Structure formats: structure tokens, C-alpha cells
Amino acid sequence: MNVVTPDVSVILPIAMDHEHYLGSTREAIGLEKAGILRERVPAIIADPDPPQSVLNELKKLDVPNLQLGRDFGWDDERLWWTSSADQMEAQIGKPRLPSISLAAAMQTSAMLYWPPAPEGLLDLTLVGRQSWVQYGDRTLLMDVAHNPHAIARLSRTLRAWSNLHPTSKVEGVFGVYRDKALTEMLQALGGAVTFFHCSQVDEARALPGAEIVKTLHANGLQSAASYPSFTEALAAALGHTASSDLVVVFGSFPVVGESLNYLGIHPFD
């Protein structure tokens, strides 16, 4: 992030993650994130409640900035942004990407004088971030959510799906690194998954599936099993569910990557 001087700096919502590198509070993490700011170089602040440490750095470096909710945003299916001091807007419906990320991208594009057509943003997706996958007669949701903030967003999506399919169940294929806030992630998930199929990727940082299951049990989630590999965990989940159910694959990036490979889905081919 720091090897070049940017035309625009963007800071997205700051949540608790990578605490052993960045700090144990949002203020500390915000100060680390603010390291991308440069004196008098424009910045976009897409955190709805930016830490004071970020605001202090903006003032210290005399950074002209546009802030979420003040200069750009998304609400009630309306995308709005600032262009040449004028406020622009477009009705685009509910995007598939996180609305904050989409609004920040639109504002960034406007500052760089190449904004896309707003209507083209509605179906924009990022592979692995709440990607819906059809595999035969089965529906899967792939999400690289690996911190409480992202898990809370995933939980909202799963609950919305369950409200539309009240007689169906949601089973998860899950793996995570040792340095993640697993208990807080499970709390953010809030019971949206009825059964967990757990494993670990072949990396030293990975938390073994059996240890994930122990933590699940300690948090009152008894419906869980561990497997030697993610291919076995995913196969078990597919065999344990019906075509009307949902299998959600989530956690670390390699969890989603290995699962896509197993299913023979190569989105970039």
C-alpha cells in the first residue's frame, strides 16, 4: 500500500481482525489503516463511524476527504455520490456487493473522472464473497467471511434465505485460521447454521477441524463433525442435505478455493 503515492486513498469499514499485527482496538487498527494517507492527497472514508485516530490523521495531513453518509452512500435502493461538488444519484435496486463497498467504489471512480454506468453495478460480484453456486440440483453459498464483521453480514443473508425457505435447513462447511476470533465469529453467526462440517487447509496457520468442533461445543453448538480434508467435509455436507437445503462454505480464502476446485468450478477460465 505504501510503495507509491496514490491518486486517491480509500479506507473501508474498520473491524476487529489481524489484531496481532494491527492492534486490539478499532482506534489502533484505524491508525494503522490511516498509514495509506498522504499529505493533501484526497481520501474516501467509507467507515460509517470512523475511529478518531483516522479523523486525526486526516486533519494532521490536511487531507481533503469525502465521507460515507455525508458525501456518498446507498440507502433505500438509491446510490448517491459527489462529482465536481455536485451530488449525483441513481436508483439501482439492492446490489449483490456490500452496499458500502459499492458506494465507495462509485465515489472513487467519480473522483478519478471515469464513473461507470450505475445500472451496470447491480449484478456486479466478487468471486468468493457471497457467491451463489449451482451444482446439479444443489444450491451453495460461498463466502470468504473470516472475521465477526463479515460473518454478521453472512448471517443476515442466511436468515433472509431461511425466511424464504422455512422448511429447509442450512449446513456449513467451515474452516478458519488459528489467529481468528472464532468465538466472536460464532456469536455473530447467531445460530444461522444448523450443522457444521469442519476441516482445515494444509497450512500451519489453520485451526484443526477437531479444535473448531470443540469450540463449537463450548458455545452450545453440538451439531458438528470434523473431517481430514475439505473435500471430505464438502462431500459429507452434500450427502447430509437435500436439494431444497442450502450448503454454505465459509471461513478462510482457501476453504472456498478448495471447495470450488472440488466442484470443478473455475470462475476465471
Digit-coded pLDDT (tens) for 152-178: 989 999 999 999 999 999 999 999 988
Cell of 178: 488459528
Evaluate if residue 19 carries a pLDDT over 50.
Answer: no
Mean pLDDT of 5-26: 71
Domains, the chain, in order of start with CATH, read 9-121 (3.40.1190.10), 131-263 (3.90.190.20)
Average pLDDT along the chain: 87
User: Cell numbers 482496538 correspond to what residue?
Assistant: 25
Evaluate if residue 17 carries a pLDDT over 70.
Answer: no
Cell of 68: 460515507
SS3 of residue 197 by DSSP = strand
Judged on CB neighbours under 10 Å (0-12, 13-18, 19+), 189 is: buried
- The enclosing H or E element of 143 equals strand 138-143
Digit-coded pLDDT (tens) for 196-230: 999 998 888 889 999 999 999 998 888 999 999 98
Evaluate if residue 23 carries a pLDDT over 80.
Answer: no
> In angstroms, what CA-CA distances link 149 with 195, 228, 250, 263?
21, 28, 14, 28
Q: Where are the alpha helices (DSSP H) in 121-252?
A: 148-164, 182-189, 209-218, 230-240
pTM attached to this predicted model = 0.72
| Cβ contact 76:91 at 8 Å | no
Residue 82 and residue 106: Cα distance in Å, rounded?
9
Of 154 and 180, the one with more pLDDT: 154
Cell of 211: 479444535
Per-residue confidence (pLDDT) for residue 12, from 0 to 100: 87
Per-residue confidence (pLDDT) for residue 16, from 0 to 100: 55
Evaluate if residue 268 carries a pLDDT over 70.
Answer: no
Per-residue confidence (pLDDT) for residue 112, from 0 to 100: 86
Cell of 157: 443473508
